[in-house]
Amino acid sequence: MPTKTALNFTYSLEDRPECGASLIRLKGSVDAFSYMALKTVLKRISDGELGAARRNMLIDFRDVQYCASSGWSVLFLQSALLKERQGRMVLFDVSERASHALSLLVMREPLLQVVEDEAAALECMARAA
């Protein structure tokens, strides 16, 4: 862990029972100093500690300024965990500035689904439900 820690991001949580999903709106930067906090938050949401336990996650990336490789790792890992539980993760509104690092990661297979906006994300979940 870095010698000093700081939360560079905030989040809000909404329940979307109609598509069996937790909707998480992230704001700020997920970097080497804050990725562990994101990991903890996602795990707690997934485990139902912060609200109803849902097998799917929708993540609003509109206000994410930057996401380092450590942040993407957390999202990939959480997405894989959801998949094991027959759930899924969908990201939407991923800004150009946040998607630069993602485009460099060149995955062999897509580890999470990225769609254009919230409507598309909800539709995507509804189709899968």
| Site for another protein, rule CB under 8 A | 1-6, 8, 29, 31-34, 39, 66, 68-70, 72-74, 76-77, 79-80, 83, 97, 100-101, 104-108, 111
Residues 98 and 21: their CA atoms lie apart, in Å, by 23
Alpha-helix residue ranges (DSSP H) falling in 4-117: 35-46, 69-84, 96-105
**62 or 83: CB nearest another protein:** 83
State the minimum distance, in angstroms, from the CB of residue 15 to another protein.
25
Half-sphere exposure of 65 (CA within 13 A, CB side): 7
CA distance 103 to 54: 29
Query: Min. distance of Cβ 45 from another protein in angstroms?
Result: 17
Structure tokens at 121: 């994300």
CB of 18 to another protein, least distance (A): 27
